Amino acid sequence: MADEVRSILTAYRLMTDILGQELETLMSAVYTMKGVGEVLEVYEDKLTITPKGVLGFLSKGLKGTKTIPFFAISGIQFKKAGLTSGYLQFTIPGGNESKAGLFSAASDENTFMFSGRNELAEEIKNYIEQRTREVRNPQDSSDRSSVADELQKLADLKVQGILSDEEFQSAKRRLIG
């Protein structure tokens, strides 16, 4: 009985390591930047703009967090902060982005306003542009090899008796999608 429990725990830890790292990576922000009444969080596959405080309410209203997946971004406009706030404005199909400059951009739901920290904002812009290109032109060979490696690990665990056939099939379905 104790050996079975130990085997189950070992299999659970291995599956958690295999699947959990990918989920944790996707769910944690790569960049977080506080702006003028809002927070920009950039993930591996999307970004969010969340209004904060009174200034966020005044500029964005009650709209809440705006999530923009990278595949939807067709362009990024970057204005450095100086005497006025800077901004990152994201163009999306069917979007309603402002074309009237800084003051109109402040209320645009697809715009993140910031003061100072031009280097970080430009680094974020470059990261989003790179990820947008990668999302549109995926490199399938590396993904396939990593999935194949994970499947081999699961098969090895099944052969060793650590995973039952049912656990193996379940983990395989989750891995393949």
What is the average pLDDT across 75-89? 92
Question: Per-residue pLDDT for 107 more than 80?
Answer: no
Residue 136 CB neighbour total at 10 angstroms? 10
* Ordered domains of the chain (ranges, CATH): 2-26+140-176 (no CATH), 35-136 (2.30.29)
What is the average pLDDT across 75-91? 92
Could you tell me which residue, 34 or 66, shows the higher pLDDT? 34
Question: Per-residue pLDDT for 101 more than 70?
Answer: no
Contact between 131 and 31 (Cβ < 8 Å): no
What is the average pLDDT across 109-121? 90
Three-state SS for 18?
helix
Look at residue 32 in the predicted model and tell me its pLDDT.
94
Q: Which pLDDT band, with edges at 50, 70 and 90, does 172 fall under?
A: confident
Question: Per-residue pLDDT for 105 more than 70?
Answer: no
Look at residue 121 in the predicted model and tell me its pLDDT.
93
**Percent of the chain, pLDDT > 70?**
66
- Which tokens sit at 75? 């362009």
Question: Per-residue pLDDT for 58 more than 60?
Answer: no
In sequence order, what DSSP letters do the residues of 109-134 get, joined into one string? TTEEEESS-HHHHHHHHHHHHHHHHH
Prediction pTM value: 0.57
Could you tell me which residue, 85 or 57, shows the higher pLDDT? 85
pLDDT, tens digit (0-9, with 9 covering 90-100), for 6-22: 666 566 565 555 555 44
Classify residue 61 by its DSSP letter: T
Could you tell me which residue, 69 or 95, shows the higher pLDDT? 69
